[in-house]
Amino acid sequence: VFGTNGAISKVPTQLRGARKPTSDELAAAVHLSRDLEEARYRDRLIEEYRTEVPPGRFNGGEAMRREAALALRAPVDGYKPFTQRRRIEVDESTLTVGLMSDVSGSMSALQPAIGIAGYVISEAVYRIADASFAQVYFGDRSYPGVRKGQRLGKVRTWGGGGGYENFNDGFRSLESRVT
């Protein structure tokens, strides 16, 4: 965090390095994309409703109460002895992933791991249809990372520095990128 003369260094906005992903990182992206695809899938909903006429599952007790109400000349609107089920297809939701990467001084030793995580998540989301990914870096202030819909082709490592994390600024920046 501190320079040689005791001054606080600024968060560097330049890349420390960029490299092609390893085979393990590609495999991790494929595995994550499969897991995200499963999490995104929604099953059919089953709606049950009651009716006075078949088809459907017959409820004898409800039918007897209906007949008793008819004998007493009472209203029978509430007595529906058949239960039917209707299956409703639900549209799949679109997946939007936002990643905030801390590049403050306390995280400088972890920048290679943060770069790998950013690549793996970006590549996994890229492999899913109708999904999008955006990333910002934040330290003393926020820095642009990956625009929504852009593919991260390399593992990028940023320099860390600065005295604190401006989380709110980073979050607002990311929110504006994913919406």
Instruction: State the pLDDT at residue 37.
Output: 85
Say how far apart CA 172 and CA 135 lie, in whole Å: 12
Rounded mean pLDDT, 172-177: 89
Is residue 46 pLDDT above 70, yes or no?
Answer: yes
Are the beta carbons of 81 and 110 closer than 8 angstroms? Answer: no
Helices 111-126 & 23-40 angle (0-180, nearest 10): 50
Say how far apart CA 66 and CA 68 lie, in whole Å: 5
Are the beta carbons of 156 and 120 closer than 8 angstroms? Answer: no
Rounded mean pLDDT, 21-28: 94
4 — pLDDT class (breaks 50, 70, 90): very low
Say how far apart CA 167 and CA 159 lie, in whole Å: 18
How many residues can be counted in the chain? 179
pTM, whole model, 2 decimals?
0.66
Question: HSE-up of 102 (CA within 13 Å, CB side)?
Answer: 13
Which H or E element spans position 57? strand 57-58
Is residue 15 pLDDT above 60, yes or no?
Answer: yes
3 — pLDDT class (breaks 50, 70, 90): very low
Question: HSE-up of 147 (CA within 13 Å, CB side)?
Answer: 1
Instruction: State the pLDDT at residue 17.
Output: 81
